[in-house]
């Protein structure tokens, strides 16, 4: 774990302790459980965002990849448990496909990541709204199948185990495989990586594809949590995913960062909002303090090196 | 062929204008009249101004996500005060100040532009919500008559002023320095360009442009909303991209971004008159964005092949 990730964990700890002091019930398991569940959604999208940021890219298509996957899930699952496997496969497949197209556009066509993913976001938004006709169809049953909702039941909800699984997957992928080495090499210096035999384009495509998959996973989990899919479900996660990645100590320039830090970053962001809500700070205050907290954290460990 | 990429914005605008003219005429049986042109002018002015500011920032190799927050805050104040002349002056000043804060943090705080402006976006949006908790407010009829008169094309004068401003700016020492910083920051520093001051000024100008856009927005819609600025984040970036300004900085012109902004607004009209379901609108906007950029890179590739 690098120094920035350690800072991120420390910040998360401080925010959580502060929350426990400020609002009673925050430190209890039900309170912590609620924070962890909400943080897991940020954690999923931030996993994908981190992967592309590691190679100096960015994924702005997360909101509507997430939303499209959620709609695909509910409209093919129809709320029936026996259709769930098919619905899950289609939803994840849609996310992976969107990510693949992003990756191909960025790596092979040379479209800047901001443009490619912004365009993809628009395309998926239009498709989702158009095909679902704005969710005006009343008998389509935009509901989550029961097994998916059960993920959020119990004292230790299975949803948190899914997050743990995702965390292990990302961490093992990045630290124990040659693919992971290639990712960091590409992020640190794509030219040097290319010259030493790393398939930079292939790595890039794989990472964008994974990001699409993680956005879809977040959409699926949100459907299970809320019981149904809605339009605009993913909108808050565009900037939140970037913020979680950076608060988690990942360099926006690429090449440095770990998922442990990003988990801490997700927890910090969600805990700040939860504490402010518990203190009954109005929305405008929450937004301003949220921004100032991010700015303060950036000043603490998100600065770039001096030029001289 | 290199010129083609530089003039991408104008070419895209010409193509879109042609499409607009054709679709309008075939669908209504008469060519668009002065009323239609005036409506386009008045609805496009806010985006034109935001895109102008955004392009200055992108020319230095940065990005300004906080335009959404600055527009929201300035819309809120303008609408809440009814747009008295003194208040409009204060609003424009405040916009510049908000931008200056971004610039100082980016230049002297050495925090990546995308992260700085992400954090301040939240702060400024919160402030907007504090000023105007519920949509509403008003604008003095005199202001409306001067800025976006529904009968006289007063907007043309302001558009000309913005164009002239850029035309002068790019010929000043500051204008040259903007390009120098964007092309190669290290070299610019080496030849004595005060990189930090240039960056701070560029963000301040972007804030100023967003504030002016906000005043136009309230004058056109005659009311305010604390979330009015949010759509401008992505549309201003899209305008800059379609206008052929390179995200790596140093290449392109603010006029291209202005052309891009008008083209993006026209696309919506084209879709409307072509009878396309508005739910699919963002699908076509997304495709338009990616295709425009692909045309640009394709032209650059051809030029390189021909030169080789």
Among A234, A287, A300, pick the best mutation site for testing chain B contact (most B Cβ within 10 A).
Answer: A287
CATH 2.60.120 for domain A3-134+142-301:
no
Q: How far apart are CA A249 and CA A6, in angstroms?
A: 8
**pLDDT tens digits along B178-203:** 999 999 999 999 999 999 999 999 99
Q: How far apart are CA B184 and CA B241, in angstroms?
A: 20
pLDDT for res B1? 43
User: In this structure, what token pair is assigned to residue B64?
Assistant: 């300004």
pLDDT for res B240? 92
Asked if residue B303 has pLDDT above 80, the reply is no
Q: Are A79 and A98 in contact (CB under 8 A)?
A: no
Asked if residue B283 has pLDDT above 60, the reply is yes
Question: Where does residue B6 fall: left (phi above 0), alpha (psi -120 to 50 degrees), or beta otherwise?
Answer: alpha
* CB within 8 Å: A123 and B110: no
* CB within 8 Å: A122 and B283: yes
Average pLDDT of B128-150? Answer: 83
The least confident of A64-73, B101-110, B239-248 is: B239-248
Low-confidence ranges of chain A (pLDDT < 50): none
- Give φ, ψ of A59 to 5 degrees: -120, 105
Helices (H), B170-194: 173-183, 185-190
Among the listed residues B261, B274, B212, the one whose alpha carbon sits nearest the alpha carbon of residue B40: B261
Q: Are B47 and B214 in contact (CB under 8 A)?
A: no
Helices (H), chain A: 3-22, 29-54, 62-77, 84-107, 113-131, 146-150, 158-176, 178-188, 190-195, 200-226, 237-247, 259-278, 283-301
Distance from CA of B151 to the nearest CA of A (A): 34
Average pLDDT of B240-263? Answer: 89
User: In this structure, what token pair is assigned to residue A58?
Assistant: 């960015």
Q: How far apart are CA A213 and CA A249, in angstroms?
A: 23
pLDDT for res B305? 77
Which of B124, B189, B287 lies at the smallest CB-CB distance from A119?
Answer: B287
Which of A118, A120, A130 lies at the smallest CB-CB distance from B277?
Answer: A130
pLDDT for res B32? 85
Q: pLDDT averaged over chain B?
A: 88
User: In this structure, what token pair is assigned to residue A23?
Assistant: 């609002």
Domain residue ranges in chain B:
2-307
Domain residue ranges in chain A:
3-134+142-301
Bridge partners of B224, per DSSP, are B136
* CB within 8 Å: B289 and A122: yes
Bridge partners of B111, per DSSP, are A303
Confidence of residue B164 (pLDDT cuts 50, 70, 90): very high
Q: How far apart are CA A234 and CA B290, in angstroms?
A: 22
Average pLDDT of B156-176? Answer: 90
pLDDT for res A152? 80
Q: Are B240 and B51 in contact (CB under 8 A)?
A: yes
Fold observed for domain B2-307: ABC transporter involved in vitamin B12 uptake, BtuC (1.10.3470)
Average pLDDT of B260-268? Answer: 90
Identify the three-state secondary structure at position A307: coil
Chain B residues with CB under 8 Å of A306 CB are: 110
Q: How far apart are CA A243 and CA A239, in angstroms?
A: 6
CA B137 to each of CA A117, A187, A284, B76, B277: distance values in angstroms, whole numbers, following the listed order:
36, 49, 18, 8, 32
Using a CB–CB cutoff of 8 Å, tell me whether A307 touches chain B: yes
Q: How far apart are CA A258 and CA A251, in angstroms?
A: 10
Among the listed residues B104, B54, B110, B233, the one whose alpha carbon sits nearest the alpha carbon of residue A251: B110
Instruction: Report pTM.
Output: 0.89
Identify the three-state secondary structure at position B109: coil
* DSSP per position, B204-216: HHHHHHHHHHHHH
Among A121, A126, A241, pick the best mutation site for testing chain B contact (most B Cβ within 10 A).
Answer: A126
Which of A119, A125, A287 lies at the smallest CB-CB distance from B290?
Answer: A119
pLDDT for res B286? 87
Using a CB–CB cutoff of 8 Å, tell me whether B167 touches chain A: no
Average pLDDT of B99-103? Answer: 96
């Amino acid at each position: 774990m690098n120094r920035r990730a350690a800072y991120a964990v420390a910040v998360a700890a401080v925010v959580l302790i502060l929350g426990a002091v400020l609002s009673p019930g925050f430190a209890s398991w039900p309170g912590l459980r609620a924070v962890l569940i909400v943080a897991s959604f940020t954690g999923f999208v931030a996993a994908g965002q981190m992967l592309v940021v590691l190679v100096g890219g960015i994924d702005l298509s997360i909101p509507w990849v997430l939303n499209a996957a959620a709609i695909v899930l509910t409209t093919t699952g129809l709320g029936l448990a026996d259709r769930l496997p098919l619905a899950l496969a289609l939803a994840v497949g849609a996310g992976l496909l969107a990510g693949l197209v992003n990756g191909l556009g960025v790596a092979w066509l040379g479209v800047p990541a901001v443009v490619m993913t912004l365009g993809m976001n628009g395309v998926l938004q239009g498709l989702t709204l158009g095909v679902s006709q704005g969710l005006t169809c009343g008998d389509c049953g935009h509901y989550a199948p029961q097994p998916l909702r059960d993920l959020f039941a119990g004292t230790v909800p299975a949803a948190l185990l899914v997050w743990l699984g995702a965390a292990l997957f990302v961490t093992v992928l990045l630290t124990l495989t040659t693919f992971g080495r290639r990712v960091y090499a590409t992020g640190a210096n794509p030219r040097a990586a290319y010259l030493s035999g790393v398939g930079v384009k292939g790595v890039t495509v794989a990472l964008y594809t994974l990001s699409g998959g993680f956005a879809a996973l977040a959409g699926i989990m949100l459907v299970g949590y809320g019981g149904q899919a809605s339009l605009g479900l993913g909108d808050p996660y565009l900037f939140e995913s970037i913020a979680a990645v950076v608060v988690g100590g990942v360099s926006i320039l690429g090449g440095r960062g770990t998922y442990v830090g990003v988990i801490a970053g997700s927890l910090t962001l969600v805990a700040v909002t939860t504490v402010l809500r518990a203190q009954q700070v109005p929305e405008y205050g929450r937004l301003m303090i949220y921004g100032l907290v991010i700015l303060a954290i950036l000043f603490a460990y998100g600065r770039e090196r001096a030029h001289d | 062929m290199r010129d083609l990429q530089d003039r991408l914005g104008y070419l895209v605008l010409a193509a879109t204008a042609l499409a607009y003219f054709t679709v309008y005429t075939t669908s209504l049986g008469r060519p668009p009249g002065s009323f239609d042109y005036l409506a386009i002018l008045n609805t496009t002015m806010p985006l034109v101004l935001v895109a102008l500011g955004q392009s200055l920032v992108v020319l230095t190799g940065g990005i300004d996500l906080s335009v959404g927050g600055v527009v929201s805050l300035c819309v809120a104040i303008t609408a809440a005060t009814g747009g008295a002349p003194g208040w409009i002056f204060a609003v424009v000043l405040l916009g510049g100040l908000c931008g200056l804060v971004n610039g100082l943090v980016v230049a002297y705080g050495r925090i990546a532009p995308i992260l700085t402006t992400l954090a301040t976006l939240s702060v400024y949006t919160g402030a907007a919500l504090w000023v105007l908790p519920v949509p509403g407010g008003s604008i003095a009829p005199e202001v409306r008559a001067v800025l976006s008169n529904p009968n006289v094309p007063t907007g043309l004068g302001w558009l000309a002023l913005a164009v002239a401003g850029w035309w002068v700016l790019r010929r000043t020492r500051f204008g040259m320095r903007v390009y120098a910083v964007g092309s190669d920051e290290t070299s610019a520093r080496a030849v004595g360009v005060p990189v930090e001051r240039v960056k701070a000024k560029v963000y301040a100008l972007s804030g100023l442009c967003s504030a002016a856009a906000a005043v136009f927005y309230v004058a056109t819609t005659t009311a305010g909303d604390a979330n009015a600025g949010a759509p401008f984040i992505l549309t201003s970036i899209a305008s800059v991209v379609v206008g052929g300004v390179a995200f790596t900085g140093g290449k392109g012109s603010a006029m291209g971004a202005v052309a891009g902004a008008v083209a993006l607004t026209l696309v919506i009209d084209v879709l409307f008159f072509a009878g396309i379901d508005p739910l699919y609108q963002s699908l076509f906007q997304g495709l338009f964005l990616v295709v425009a950029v692909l045309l640009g890179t394709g032209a650059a590739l051809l030029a390189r092949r021909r030169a080789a």
